[in-house]
Amino acid sequence: MFPYFHSSAAGKGFNIPGFKDPKLDELLTRVQTETDASKRKQAVVELQAFMADNLPYIFLWYPEEIDVINANLQGVPT
């Protein structure tokens, strides 16, 4: 979420439309930095509600991806 909607990425990276909002920046930062699981969950809930109310932009399509993992690869979580 951060690279798509944070003001620091406006006009570059994935924030192509240049959306900027200080409240959204604060919520995105809280979600990334909160170490307490219950507080982080609450920050995610607030972030989702804010984005639903403000709708920074809409993805009109989502590229389909096929992930392939070599059967010989070991020690890497799926």
Q: Is the pLDDT of residue 76 over 80?
A: no
**Which distant-in-sequence residues (6+ apart) come within 8 Å of 57 by Cβ?**
17, 19
Q: Which domain holds residue 70?
A: 1-78
**What does pTM read for this prediction?**
0.69
The pLDDT confidence band at residue 38, using thresholds 50, 70 and 90, is: very high
The token duo for 57 is 């932009």
**Which distant-in-sequence residues (6+ apart) come within 8 Å of 58 by Cβ?**
none
Report the distance separating Cα 12 and Cα 9, nearest Å.
Answer: 5
Tell me the pLDDT tens digit for each residue of 41-65: 999 999 999 999 988 877 787 778 7
Q: What pLDDT, on a 0 to 100 scale, did the predictor assign at position 48? A: 94
> What is the CB neighbour count within 10 angstroms for residue 20?
16
2-31: average pLDDT: 90
Q: What pLDDT, on a 0 to 100 scale, did the predictor assign at position 71? A: 83
How many domains in the chain? 1
